[in-house]
A and B are shown apart, each in its own frame.
Chain A
Amino acid sequence: MDRAAFDRCLQPLLGPAFGYALRLCGDRDEAMDLVQEASVNAFRAARTFQPGTNFRAWYFRILTNVFYRSRRKPSNTVSLDDEQNAYLLRRALEAGGGWDGADRIAEAVMDGIDAEAIQDAIRALPDEYRSVAMLYFLETMKYEEIADALGLPLGTVRSRLHRGRKALQRALWDVARSRGIEVDLV
């Protein structure tokens, strides 16, 4: 792949790559550094890219690896054991005393949570869960593409996404309560 062809493939991905890197590391300057380094690494490895395969997944794998290598130690994050299925639904039903109450509570929680609170909740996820969640939420990748991008088995992607999403719901619920958002109707 020559430079011109590489640039044509890369240019549309720079914005999404920055968004993904920012959600992983939480810092705009660092995110730019990660994207720059990943782009250079990808260019140098361009001969390993197989034409006709998924360039986006290939590039995001390189970017994710650049991020992981930049980490000196495992991130200090929440445990993802014992996360219930549909966490927000269960809490909302308990607090709301039924469906009407649950819907009102869910609306209050989601309306009361700003992007910064969500970013904080995302940052609290373990790195390997955060990367899966961000490719899913930001890039709307399917499981198979995420597996390709991260070099993971499909089943691992699925379980990390499900558990990460539940942890995110739990974190948002806790933030809502700590901010005094009305979540107790009964």
Chain B
Amino acid sequence: MSRRCLSCREAFERLDDFVDRELATGERVLVQEHLEVCAECARAFRFEEGVLRSLRAKIGRIDVPPELAARVREALDRASD
């Protein structure tokens, strides 16, 4: 029995899950094998991963108000009474 190979369309349908690292092992292997032989799809996947990295970096960390921990502690103290 010949090993299954994904078409470009089938690989592209799995793009989001692949980029999210949420594909089952077997599916991930099939996608990786397709990317090894298809330069267009490989470039598309790299593009999406790059956008995701940029978005994560831009969204980034937020300055947490220094008084937050004290406010929560005081609220919990009142709730404990």
Contact = CB atoms under 8 A, between A and B. Distances in A.
Interface residues of A, number: 46
A115 B63 CA distance: 13
B56 interface: yes
Interface stretch (A11-19, A50-58, A66-74, A177-185): A11-19
Contacts of A95: none
B48 A86 contact: yes
A135 B80 CA distance: 30
B64 A99 contact: no
Contact of A143 (B12, B20, B58, B75): B20
Contacts of A88: 51
Contacts of B51: 88-89, 106, 110, 169
B15 interface: yes
A138 interface: yes
Nearest to A103: B47
Q: Is chain A's interface secondary structure helix, strand, loop, or mixed overall?
A: helix
B30 to A, nearest CB: 18
B20 to A, nearest CB: 7
A162 B16 contact: yes
Contacts of A158: 17, 22
B60 A115 contact: yes
Interface string A101-139: 011001000100111001000100000000000001110
Interface in A1-53: 3, 6-7, 10-11, 14-15, 18-19, 22-23, 28, 32, 35-36, 39-40, 43-44
B76 interface: yes
The interface size bin for chain B is 20 to 34
Contacts of A23: 59
A32 B17 contact: no
A28 B63 CA distance: 10
Nearest to A119: B59
Interface of B: 12-13, 15-17, 20-22, 43-44, 47-48, 50-51, 54-56, 58-62, 64-65, 67-69, 71-73, 75-76, 79-80
28 contacts: A18-B62, A19-B61, A19-B62, A28-B65, A36-B75, A40-B76, A40-B79, A44-B79, A85-B12, A85-B15, A85-B16, A86-B48, A89-B47, A89-B51, A106-B47, A106-B51, A110-B54, A110-B55, A113-B58, A114-B58, A115-B58, A115-B59, A115-B60, A136-B20, A143-B20, A143-B22, A165-B16, A169-B51
